[in-house]
Structure 1
Amino acid sequence: MAILPILEAPDARLRQISEPVERVDDDLRRLMDDMLETMYDAPGIGLAAIQVGVAKRVLVIDLQEPAEGAEDVPANRVKKPLYFVNPEITWESEELATYNEGCLSVPEQYADVDRPARIRATWLDYDGKAHDEEIDGLLATCLQHEMDHLEGILFVDHLSKLKRDMLLKKLAKLRKGAKAA
């Protein structure tokens, strides 16, 4: 497995629409393994293939929730990786949930985003097995966030122009400061 470089806004490749995957094979599984290792290293809870420069409809998620009854520290988080190939949302609730989102491609920037609280989605997993499930909570939010990447959409696109511009200016300023150091 390998840690891959993560593209950061305003990289134009993040605006690409990802192509459907023809079949789940060893090459695709290797990509998903590398994506997962990259996501854990970053650290994050979700990563779409386009964020590592691969325009395929693939994403990985691991909410890494604390073990039951354990204190919420990294050492106590349980890894339960989820793999989504060609995910599609087939239904979404009218009820919205607000979550303070961040993104590995927009580092150190966070903003409240409203999304459907519940969704129904279909996808293929790591072994190519088909799934069709209703999802809610943080997983629903994360899946929608990562699926936006497959359409060339960043979480900042859900914000008002003023908020988006402020956030992207802060990101540019952070980058400038990092280069100067």
Structure 2
Amino acid sequence: MTAASLLIYPDPGLRRVAEPVLHVDEALRAAARDLEAVMLAVSALGLTLPHIGRPQRLVLLRMEPGEPVTAYVNPEIVWASPERGPQTEGSVSMPGVMEVVDRAVRVRVRYRDLDGTEREEEAEGFRAACLQHEIDQLDGLFWIERLSRLRRERAIKRFAKLRRAGA
């Protein structure tokens, strides 16, 4: 797959709720390889299958270049700290637009890996924000929906201006 496979805002596929993965099998692993190819092509930290038009609950995350990619099948946040903090976020599906989003500072996520093994991960700071951002995407909640109406409208206008300018 290529970067051309990536859905761009306001594609309705970005607001579709992803279906649970029923079987961790070779077809899912192939989909993960496709998703990873797109993720690397667009230099994303994280990406979901819905980003490439496949409404299944799979997230890939890689926080640093050279770090291995972590796959999260059917991830769910099972605990979030009451403490919240600001994180600057954006999306490769809305390139050029960044805004500060308030998120839980720490989370615990339950998921399966690509072998089907159930796992839990605790994350904090930016990694926690990335997990929340991608799980929101699986739930059909594009990241700008976490902004106030005014900030969301400004972000959409900024993106439209960038697209008109060919950026």
TM-score, scaled relative to structure 1:
0.88
1:178 Cα deviation (Å)? Answer: 1.3
Alignment of 1:27-176 (within 5 A): 27-64=27-64, 77-176=65-164
Q: Secondary structure at the match of 1:22?
A: coil
Q: Could you report, residue by residue, the CA deviation over 1:135-175 in whole angstroms, capped at 9, with x for unpaired residues? A: 21221111100000011111111111111111101111111
Q: Which amino acid aligns with 2:20?
A: P
- Which whole-Å CA distance do the structure 1 matches of 2:149 and 2:114 have between them? 38
**Which ranges in structure 2 are unaligned for 5 or more consecutive residues?**
none
- Which whole-Å CA distance do the structure 1 matches of 2:148 and 2:27 have between them? 40
**Which ranges in structure 1 are unaligned for 5 or more consecutive residues?**
65-76
- Which whole-Å CA distance do the structure 2 matches of 1:52 and 1:153 have between them? 15
Q: Could you report, residue by residue, the CA deviation over 1:92-132 in whole angstroms, capped at 9, with x for unpaired residues? A: 00011211101111111000001001111100012111102
Report sequence identity in percent: 36
- Which whole-Å CA distance do the structure 2 matches of 1:29 and 1:142 have between them? 22
Q: Which amino acid aligns with 1:162?
A: L
Q: Secondary structure at the match of 1:108?
A: coil
Q: CA RMSD in A?
A: 1.2
TM-score, scaled relative to structure 2:
0.95
Task: Number of aligned residue pairs: give it.
Answer: 166
